[in-house]
Every structure is written in structure tokens, then in C-alpha cells.
Chains A and B, each alone.
Chain A
Amino acid sequence: CLKAIMPFGNTHNNFKLNYKVEEEFPDLSKHNNHMAKALTKEIYGKLRDKQTPSGYTLDDVIQTGVDNPGHPFIMTVGCVAGDEESYEVFKDLLDPIISDRHGGYKSTDKHKTDLNFENLKGGDDLDPNYVLSSRVRTGRSIKGYTLPPHNSRGERRAIEKLAVEALTSLDGEFKGKYYPLKSMTDAEQEQLISDHFLFDKPVSPLLTCAGMARDWPDARGIWHNDSKSFLVWVNEEDHLRVISMQKGGNMREVFRRFCVGLQKIEEIFKKHNHGFMWNEHLGYILTCPSNLGTGLRGGVHVKLPKLSTHAKFEEILTRLRLQKRGTGGVDTASVGGVFDISNADRLGSSEVEQVQLVVDGVKLMVEMEKKLEKGEAIDSMIPAQK
């Protein structure tokens, strides 16, 4: 047998080169995702013998998109990064996908990060009769480790260890506790489910085909503060998912806590020489290209029974740069006229800008809802394209 070249070389990738490009090129004829639209035989031929320093290859990047042909109505991304360098080594494929997914974002564009919550205007007065809850989430990747599709058990455990050290050193409003998935008691599990905090082993084939569920539940866990308003998921789809949330419409407070908490966590990681993956072109580097930039989804659960059945609902959302989801999150349906409304953009605008869009847009939609309740028209309120 061969002695493995440590750190691992990707012997199988070289073995595949015995087959011609046409023989290895995936059949994407029935596929509808960004990767399938962007990948050509030329690009495949150019990139297939490349790998990142950790051994991630083009076939790894695209596997989830090959395995999941997509949906005629929903355009999924169809590819993932295995490490920070994926975005550089495979840029010939990923740049067009990023451009397509992020509204024409060019390979020369610069992304702005702004986590100064004071820069947000208003946002503390969304009507709680309509806005039931507010939430802001993002993801962070820790420099020096590979990403969930590719990382080893040892890396994942190191990330968990670092994350727990950082989080347990937080105090004041951020004082909290970590619950590793694999040693959770039944009582703890019940409580986390009731609080809607618990995340499950991924069942979505989009995630499982990318290898993100390997070794589950090893080194996965949930941390939250005692007030249950600040929550961190460790080693789910990204190294860290950071969530700030509370009942009612005070998005300003949610965003403040979000920014303050994130910055505290980042400081602690930096002290250990593990900053977050970030660059001035792509902003925060995350597993899925759809989450690049801010990785931020700021949203509310809001009652819009009348507006949601209005003929112009979709158009209004598009103009406000917002998207709707059901109250179970992505790919769920709304229940009782309550929608999850959040920013559609991630890359090319800052955190403050994106949350501002949510705050202003939701305020407007609630006013429209009130008008429709009274049987009045909303035509004069239709916004211009933001």
C-alpha cells in the first residue's frame, strides 16, 4: 500500500484525470441551480486538476448541485466552499455564480462591513400588534480551519473548544451556557425545543450531499444567554451561527445586542490568533456562496393577512429588497397570515443598510396592512425600487 502523503494529497483526484473531461463532466441537462447554469466543460476542464491547500477539489464543490437538480421555481446555489481558499482556487466557477446570485456583484467589487448599531435609524417602534418577533442572524467562519463540508472531526472539535471558551467568557447580558448535542439531557432537549432553539441533524439533501452532517452530533452544540435572547449554533452549516432575537418589534434592540455580542466574540477569537474569515471583496466567508458578505438575515414575524393576498404583494417585496418565508424558516409555508419577512441581499451592502431596509420596509407594510383593513387603497404607498 502507499504511505499517505501527510497532510493528505488527493490521490483520487489525480486518478480521475485518466478519464477525459467529457467522461467525467456531470450531466446537468435537467438541473436548475446556479452551479448548473455556470459550469461549462471548459471551466470543468480547467479546474478539475486543481485543489486547495487542504485538498478540496472542484468535484467536491459541485457535488451537492449535481445530486440536487433543483426546483423549477426555486434557484438553489448548487455548490459549497470547503475552505477559505475555495473562493480563490475555483473563482472561475464561483465568481459568475456569486454575480448571478448577488445581483450582478462583480469580481472587482468591494464589500462594506458596518456593525455600528448606532448607524441604524429608528427600528424601535414597529407595531407589536403586527410584528410578533424580531430576529437577526449571521454566520462566522474561523480562520485556519476548513469548512463544514470538508473539516475533520479534529478540526470540528477544535472549533467547538474555541467557541465554548469564547462564549463562556461573556458576561452581563451575554452570560450563558453551552449545550453540546451529544451529551444533552432529555430535559435540556425538551426545553431547547420549546424555546425553538434546538437545531436538528440536517435532513435537507442540499446539506447532506455536501457532507455537512458527517460525524453528527460530534462537536455540535447550542449556546444561549440566560435571557434567551442571544444564541449561537456551533458546527451546523457554518462554524458559528449567531442569532439575536426577542418577541415584539424592537428590531433596534435586537440589532444592538447582535452587534455588541458579535464584536465581543470576535475579540476573543482574535486573541487566540483565530480571527473570522473575511476579505474586502467577499466580506465574511461562509460555506454557502449565498451567505457571503454580511451573511445577515434580519427579519420579523409579521401579521399581513390582507397585504399578503394583495395582487402587488410580491412586487412590493421586490422593490423593498425583502423576501418572504413561512414561519418555519426557509422552504416552509406561512400559517395564519403570519409571514417571515427579511432582507433579500447579503453581499454588496452593509449590515446596517440591510437591517435599515427591513425596518423601513416592514414599517411601510404594516401601514399598508392597516389601510387594507379599513378597506382603503394602498396604490399611493407603493414604493420605488430600492
Chain B
Amino acid sequence: MSDNIEKISESMAKLTLKWLSAEDEFPDVRKHNNHMAKVLNLEMYKKLRERVTPNGFTIDGVIQTGVDNPGHPFIMTVGCVAGDEETYEVFKELLDPVIEARHGGYKPQDKHKTDLKSENLKGGDDLDPNYVLSSRVRTGRSIRGFCLPPHCSRGERRAVEKLSVEALDSLSGDLKGKYYALKNMTEAEQQQLIDDHFLFDKPVSPLLLASGMARDWPDARGIWHNNNKTFLVWVNEEDHLRVISMQKGGNMREVFSRFCTGLTKIETLFKERGHAFMWNEHLGYILTCPSNLGTGLRAGVHVKLPNMSKHAKFEEVLKKLRLQKRGTGGVDTAAVGGVFDISNADRLGFSEVELVQMVVDGVKLLVDMEKRLEKGQSIDDLMPAQK
């Protein structure tokens, strides 16, 4: 190796690049509409650019996706991500206000409650299957000690996969299943997973791509599901783990019960191997996107509401019930044939049981309203108070 290279490689401290000022570097987010752009200012940027997490994640890493994706006038995206657990602490001056704006006024000193005891849910086993076509609960989990998808290296990602597969392979009973690594899937396996609506694709959303989550695709990514196809885990997509419980029909109680049992078992298996999930009493479960903090939970149904969805007060009812609607393709898709995806709007500041309760109670009410409207009757007396 020449003297020249040796000198260059020797030490980071001898970097010679002249560092430009905060004003020179500050992103132009004047026309941007996302939470990061609304919160970030020059003084904050000046302060935060001098910090780095222990794993080397910087403020520019946090905000890149929000700079690259100006957003939409009607949809407020988050515009920032965490690269590791420490991001939420090191860059709290930015992330606390983003969290507050996104999570209904959640304050830096607030405490988040975790409740994964499915017995605490009231009812939920009798949503009318003529209207409620399917029920699903998902969340994410991050494994402490590893960087998150925007920042992790191939070695880390593979270690997360290895640990996850070991844990999942030791599940038994109705949770017994199999792992399908994306990179060695056969054509037949791939087709089956597509037909089951289990297969996840390489991200195409610029929101995800700009944050670096698709690097090295499909290395160390995969899908695990149980033999009954009611419990599914995505490995290394937008989070280390995405855990999904689902089934046809309206028995949300059963879906949630399987969800809690499965999650708790997985957590125990990880702990036995010396790895906990990232969690703290302020932010609950730590995930890549600040919008998924707390429970990371989205519980929802595909429900037929052709009349209700055209009612002038549909949006208002959803808001009062603390629910949101999506098309049946998931986030940013349109409803087809009057069938909507209705789920909890909140993630942080409420427990899992509380959120699923809102879905169960809210959907029950929406279906009652739909039935009224079918008969040409009014629904004014059914209007809920703000939850």
C-alpha cells in the first residue's frame, strides 16, 4: 500500500474536508408538508448536526426521507426515521415535537401503557361476517442491540434474520410454521405467498427508499407463517419484525388473542437468547418510523360500508371513534366496491387492548349504522361522542 493511502486511511480524526456552516447545509423545506419540515428550524439543525448516535447515525440521516419527499397537501407524512434506538434520545429536540404533533399532543414526560393481555378485551367475537369480511392485527418489533433498517449493515440484518428464524422455528402447536427467505424462494412458493396475500415486495415507495431501507434487497429478508396461515412475521422489511395475526370474518377477539400469545412467546424466545425488544416507558415499543411508536399496533377489518361511506358524516364519525379508513390495498390505496379497511388511528398513549377495543366497538357501531341506512332509516341517534 502506498504512503499516500496509508496516510489517508490512518485516522478519521485527520479528515481534511473543510466543514460548511449550518446555513450552507440547512435543507430547503419551505414548500414541504410533513411533520419534520414543520418542526425543523435553523437553530435546531445547527445544534443537532454536531451530534451523532453511538452507531454513527446523524441528523441528516434522520431527515433525508423528509427532505426528498416534500409530501402532499392532504396527507401529512412523518418525514423522518430512526436509525437506531438512541436516535430518539440524541435527536429529541426534533423528534419530541414531531411525536407530539403526530400522536395527538403526546408530551415528552408522558408515560405509555403496554397491555397485551387479550382477556382484557371485551367482546369482539361477534362482528357480523356479512359485513366484516376479515380481521387483522399487526405490529412491529425491534431487537435491542442492532441498528434499524435505515442504518443497519448487512451483517446486522443477517444476525436479526438468524435470531428471528431460530425463535420462530421453535414455536409449536397452532403457531408451528415455516420461514421463506426472499432470496431462495422457489417460483411455486412465491406464487403461493402472493395468492395468500402474504408476500411483501421490495419497497417502491420513495418514502422508504429515500431512508435507505431497501439496501441490499433481498438479502436477509423473508416471510415466516404458521401452517394455518393465520400468523405471519415479516423479517427485515420496514422494521426488524412485523407481526401479523389475521383471519376471514369478524372474530377480532380470536385474532387478537393469537396475536398476544404469539408475540409474548416470541419475546420470551428472544429473551432466552439474550435479546430483548426495544421498549421504554415513555415511547413504548421503538420502531423505525415515529408514527409507529407506542404499540406499533394497527388493528383493522375489511368491512362493507357502501351506504355509510357515502354519508355526509362518515369522516366525522370515524374521527369521533378514533378510527381511520384506507382502501383494501392498505395505506394510500382506494376502496373497492364499498369495502373499506377500518383501523385504529392511534398508536402511542393508549394500550394494545384499548386500541383493539376502539376498533371492535367502533366497527360494531358502523355496521349498525350501515344496516339502518340500508333500510332508509336515519342514524342521527347513533352518533357517538368523541372518544
- Chain A positions near chain B (C-beta within 8 angstroms): 1-16, 18-20, 23-27, 49-55, 59, 63, 66-67, 85, 88-89, 91, 146, 152-155, 157-158, 182, 208-209, 213-216, 218
CB neighbours (8 Å) of A157 from chain B are 24
Known contacts A19-B159, A89-B5, A89-B9; decide if A6 and B50 are in contact (CB<8 Å): yes
CB neighbours (8 Å) of A1 from chain B are 51-54, 86, 89-90
Interface membership of B25, Cβ < 8 A: yes
Known contacts A5-B12, A63-B215; decide if A12 and B57 are in contact (CB<8 Å): yes
| Sample of 14 A–B contacts (CB below 8 Å) | A4-B49, A4-B50, A4-B52, A7-B19, A10-B12, A11-B54, A11-B55, A12-B151, A24-B155, A88-B5, A152-B60, A154-B25, A158-B24, A216-B68
Interface membership of B338, Cβ < 8 A: no
Please tell me if the beta carbons of B8 and A52 are within 8 angstroms of each other in the complex.
yes
Please tell me if the beta carbons of B55 and A15 are within 8 angstroms of each other in the complex.
yes
Complexed CA–CA distance, A88 and B60 (Å): 27
Complexed CA–CA distance, A15 and B55 (Å): 7
Additional 7 contacts, C-beta under 8 A, given A51-B12, A91-B5: A1-B89, A8-B58, A12-B147, A15-B153, A88-B4, A154-B24, A213-B68
- Chain B positions near chain A (C-beta within 8 angstroms): 2, 4-5, 8-9, 12-21, 24-28, 49-58, 60, 64, 67-68, 86, 89-90, 147, 151, 153-156, 158-159, 183, 209-210, 214-217, 219
Please tell me if the beta carbons of B155 and A214 are within 8 angstroms of each other in the complex.
no
CB neighbours (8 Å) of A23 from chain B are 154-155, 158-159
B interface: dominant SS = loop
Complexed CA–CA distance, A35 and B17 (Å): 28
Known contacts A2-B54, A8-B58, A11-B54; decide if A155 and B159 are in contact (CB<8 Å): no
Please tell me if the beta carbons of B8 and A85 are within 8 angstroms of each other in the complex.
yes
Please tell me if the beta carbons of B55 and A3 are within 8 angstroms of each other in the complex.
no
Known contacts A19-B156, A53-B8; decide if A214 and B64 are in contact (CB<8 Å): yes
Please tell me if the beta carbons of B155 and A16 are within 8 angstroms of each other in the complex.
yes
Please tell me if the beta carbons of B55 and A26 are within 8 angstroms of each other in the complex.
no
CB neighbours (8 Å) of A27 from chain B are 183, 219
CB neighbours (8 Å) of A13 from chain B are 56
B209: contacting residue among A19, A53, A208, CB under 8 A: A208
Smallest Cβ distance from B68 to chain A, in angstroms?
6
CB neighbours (8 Å) of B209 from chain A are 208
Smallest Cβ distance from B387 to chain A, in angstroms?
38
